[in-house]
Amino acid sequence: MKEEIALILASHGDFAKEALNSLEMIVGQQENVSTLSLYPGEDLPDFTKRMDDAYKNLDHIKGAIILCDIYGGTPSNAAMGMLIKYQDAKVAAYSGLNLPVLLELSASRKLDYIEIKKIIEETAKLSWIELKNNKNNTAMEGGL
């Protein structure tokens, strides 16, 4: 059994795959993760089947988190289908896939399913910050 909750990243095009690549560049290799890319010509039933296959191929005994790019798109609609199919399992889905949420999630995946959900929801609230031109801002001196 994996110690970490299963993670499925789903997006239009390669955004999910590249978000995982960016995450791994910062924090290192991630286990028990699958990415799904939707391409032109693929329909909702096909994408939902691929998402279901990804779920089945991950160790989801501790639960699974699905992160999609935009609400109402095919990836999030497929995730809704997963929530219906696995309504008695520990499966949660969110839209708004972004790197701040992935970073926080990568440090929290060994926690309990309910705690992970709380962390995702709190981080999502804080992931949008207006950048302002401030000549006294020392944050510009460093970075990753």
Whole-angstrom Cα distance, residue 47 to residue 49?
5
Sole residue written with tokens 């006294």 = 136
Distance of CA 37 to the CA centre of its chain: 13
Whole-angstrom Cα distance, residue 84 to residue 80?
6
For 29, the domain range is 6-128
Distance of CA 12 to the CA centre of its chain: 13
Residue 130, token pair as written in the block: 């207006």
Contact, 36 vs 50, CB < 8 A? yes
Contact partners, residue 101, CB within 8 Å, separation at least 6? 67, 94, 120, 123, 124, 127
CATH number for position 15: 3.40.50.510
Domain count, the chain: 1
Classify residue 144: in a domain, yes or no: no
Tens-binned pLDDT, residue by residue, of the chain (144 aa): 568 999 999 999 999 999 999 999 999 999 999 999 999 999 999 999 999 999 999 999 999 999 999 999 999 999 999 999 999 999 999 999 999 899 989 999 888 888 988 888 888 777 776 666 666 655 555 555
Provide the pLDDT for residue 139: 56
* pTM of the shown model: 0.86
Provide the pLDDT for residue 132: 66
Classify residue 140: in a domain, yes or no: no
Classify residue 32: in a domain, yes or no: yes
